[in-house]
Amino acid sequence: MTSFVETPPKAAATGKTTTRVELLDAVYNACPSLSRAQARELFEMTLEEIVGALLRDDPVKLRAFGAFNLRAKRERIGRNPRNGVAAKIDARKVLTFKASPTLIARVNGWTAPADDED
């Protein structure tokens, strides 16, 4: 069974952005045996591992949450929408996220699919 940390009512009611501090507090509250320093270290190590994998061009898949991938975009010519002047857009990498069917179902209040492999 998948376990999700519930959104605090104040964040859900106000449409407020969830911050890094609030996520850290959620880890601390979910694991009462950890000190705040240990919870912070665990949280930071998790984020560093995700970033490290993306920097190595490895996809990051979190079951029942989604997948992060890096996509290479080629150099191209774009147009300024205000004045129509052509401008060069450099080649770059972009981060993409694809939500899992379980996350999509949960956000919409539906029953989550039983065989989610994302």
| 44-53 residue pLDDT tens | 999 999 999 9
This prediction has a pTM of: 0.71
State the fold for domain 59-118.
Answer: HU Protein; Chain A (4.10.520)
The pLDDT confidence band at residue 114, using thresholds 50, 70 and 90, is: confident
| 55-67 residue pLDDT tens | 999 999 999 999 9
For the chain, the structural domain boundaries read 1-57, 59-118
Q: Over the range 11-37, which residues count as b (16 or more CB within 10 Å of their CB) and which as e?
A: eeeeeeeeeeeeebebbbeeeeeeeee
Mean pLDDT in residue range 5-14: 52
**Contact, 102 vs 112, CB < 8 A?**
yes
Percent of the chain residues past pLDDT 70, beyond the cut? 85
